[in-house]
Amino acid sequence: MIDIENNKYFHLHNENISYLFYVMENKELGSLYFGKALGDLSIDDLTYISTYHNPSAGVVNFSPNIPNFTLADRRQEYPTYGTSDFREGAINLSRDDEYLYTDFVYESFEVKKGIARNLSFPSAYGDDGEELIIKLVDKGHELELYLSYFIFPQVSAIVRQVQIKNVGKYALTVENLQSSVLSLPNSNYDFLQLSGAWTKERHIKKRPLVQGITKVESLRGASSHQENPFIALVDKNVTNSTGEIYASNLIYSGNFVSQVQVDEWNTTRLMTGINPQQFCWKFEKDESFTSPQAVLFYTSNGYNGLMRQTHSFVKNHIVDLKWKKRKRPIVLNNWEATYFDFNEDKLLNLAKQAKALGIECFVLDDGWFGKRDNDRTSLGNWTVNMRKFPQGLGHFSDQLHALGLQFGLWFEPEMVSPDTEIFKKHPDWIVHHPYERYSVGRGQYVLDFANPEVVDNIYQQMAHILSNIKIDYIKWDMNRNITEAYSPYLKKQRLPQGEFFHRYIQGVYHLYEKLLRHFPDLLIEGCASGGGRFDLGILFYSPQIWPSDDSDALERLDIMQGTLLAYPLSTFSNHVSAVPNDQVKRMTSLSFRQNVACFGPLGYELDLNKLSEKEKEEIKQEIRWYKENRNLLVNGKFDELLSLNNNNTYAWSVSSKRKQIIGFYRKLARPNEELDQYLIPSNIDLNAQYQINDHTLVSGNVLHNFGLREPYQFNAANENTAELFGDFQSYLYQLVHK
């Protein structure tokens, strides 16, 4: 998987991809290739590939000792700005007020087998992985730079990470250290991003690459609702099954930047990492700083080919493998049923009804602690509200477990309300600058998780509850972005405030680590006002994430379609909520809501008391069917069946060797509308027979060539033949291999 020739050429490869770089004339690293597997390469092959013709006559030469050599047009593995290359670099360093123009040259390499899972910071892992570590040195500035490359045999991905070490006598400051760089020889791609807003997260947006910089970023202290670290460069003629795609993601949950720069020769440089704005890191002699990991993907098989790789990578090398084997519980969350207005009897009544319907876990949301009757009080006071639970929360948990239900509990551990003891006793534990005016969000403040003492205090409060009450599931929320980022702790420690955002997210990860080391079977669902931190960093600890506070099934179609380009179904927590929907006030049928929510971990978030007996029976039947197909719906192979450019009709499938479930959805009924293509099932055995929805028997060859008969929709001329009526249509196919 890792070949080294002449201590000059480095080839990472598996059956699907090759990643190739080399030592250039100036002893820095040059990028050669990332794409389809090249197989075994001879030295003649490598010499041919690395032959370079300089198009940049007239620009600054790198060194008078290397005539006609410049970095201005070179594709580099880890570029620096200013030494004949005027594009944005991957690293910026300073000493006092002096900017350092670094020159990192190749010294040595090391190869390691196997990558252990380490809870201290999110990263890719796998016993079958290999790591290549390249050591570069800048003797003039007394620096060492370590570039790490990870490859796994079954996924078309390269994981990259960077470490900078100070081996000199003077303190230095890192102002920028990008996690990965990908250089491509042309720019004939569209830039794809997953963007939106609160309740409208991760919608697919594309724009053509042009000369200059195209980027997405976050400066909110979290990866954000507005942008996502995942980006892709897609062939302009890409389809679901054809076309090249290069994609990038970051295993990180804080401020990030993901950008692409196109130069005057139309070469492309993609970089991703910690956002250098509001960032710096001071390190003394023999100290180092390590970037988060980033992952690069490649496919020539379009959007479905991309999802094969991103989904496999997340399920096998990010999320804890135990969650592939354990059933994700079907939950009832009480939030939209009760909000803050509940007591033990009211909740127990809901729980009994939930159990009768087949639901497996009761999740108690916000309002169970302190004096929490609204969202302006009690955060940071993680003690049970005895008025709502006069016999204690343990008594309620025992009753749930006696019913055969698991118990889930909501926390917002990173926040604090001004009426709590922790706020009054420790004003220096709050994130805010030392000036008179500062911002307040939702009546709450952000705790300074850059301070280890703060993290430990919250852990002790949470651990006390988890140790004394049987809790199976946590919903971890975070409802306020960080403003006026300033840490009294860093001021006291005489550390730069530019370290705050990174130290803050390290504190978040440290709390996750402490909880999971002491409560390893706890299922933690990530949430940040919904999908404000839907990223690989959180997924390392949380096998699933609440994707959006907008639970409207119609809105979820677009949120799901974008999210699933980068993250698998198993991570997408999907709830059936009440109508009219709480966020957009839309009315949709129960069958439509269930047909959307059944793909991924299933939940319900509505007042069961308000359902008719017919609706309860429909839910009971749906849950029975879901349990029979849960593993397929959560862990099956996912494919898009219709163009992602169509914003009115959607179709996708999950499949295994023996079975396939296909969901078809239409937002608005339009007279005489036809699908732009047939529904062609994925992963069909041409020589087999398939039973469709328990009755029709069709050959795989016919299905592959003719597709599925779409359900008859409303047609102005043939209303009497319609199967699906009106707006918000849905239909599920089940194909069983015979």
φ, ψ at 468 (rounded to 5°): -110, -10
| Cross-strand bridge partners of residue 205 | 193
Please name which of 396, 419, 417 lies closest in space to residue 468, comparing C-alpha atoms: 396
Integer Cα distance of 654 and 482 in angstroms: 39
C-alpha distances (whole Å) from 442 to each of 197, 334, 337, 633 are 17, 21, 22, 37
Please name which of 554, 650, 543 lies closest in space to residue 597, comparing C-alpha atoms: 554
Integer Cα distance of 164 and 255 in angstroms: 20
Integer Cα distance of 378 and 367 in angstroms: 9
Q: Is there a contact between 431 and 440 (Cβ–Cβ < 8 Å)? A: no
φ, ψ at 455 (rounded to 5°): -60, -45
Q: Is there a contact between 1 and 130 (Cβ–Cβ < 8 Å)? A: yes
* Residues 622-630: contacts with CB under 8 Å, at least 24 apart: 622/594, 622/598, 623/330, 623/357, 623/358, 623/359, 624/358, 626/330, 626/598, 626/602, 627/330, 627/358, 629/659, 629/661, 630/327, 630/328, 630/602
Q: Which of 103, 448, 477, 558 is catalytic?
A: 477
Integer Cα distance of 692 and 679 in angstroms: 13
φ, ψ at 66 (rounded to 5°): -125, 85
Integer Cα distance of 186 and 539 in angstroms: 33
Annotation marks residue 456 as catalytic: no
In 3-state terms, what secondary structure has residue 452? helix
Q: Which of 138, 549, 558, 639 is catalytic?
A: 549
CA dihedral defined by 485, 487, 488, 494, rounded to 10 degrees?
A: -120
φ, ψ at 106 (rounded to 5°): -65, 135
Buried b (16+ CB within 10 A) or exposed e, 123-136: bbbbeebbbbbbbb
Annotation marks residue 727 as catalytic: no
Residue positions annotated with a catalytic role: 477, 549
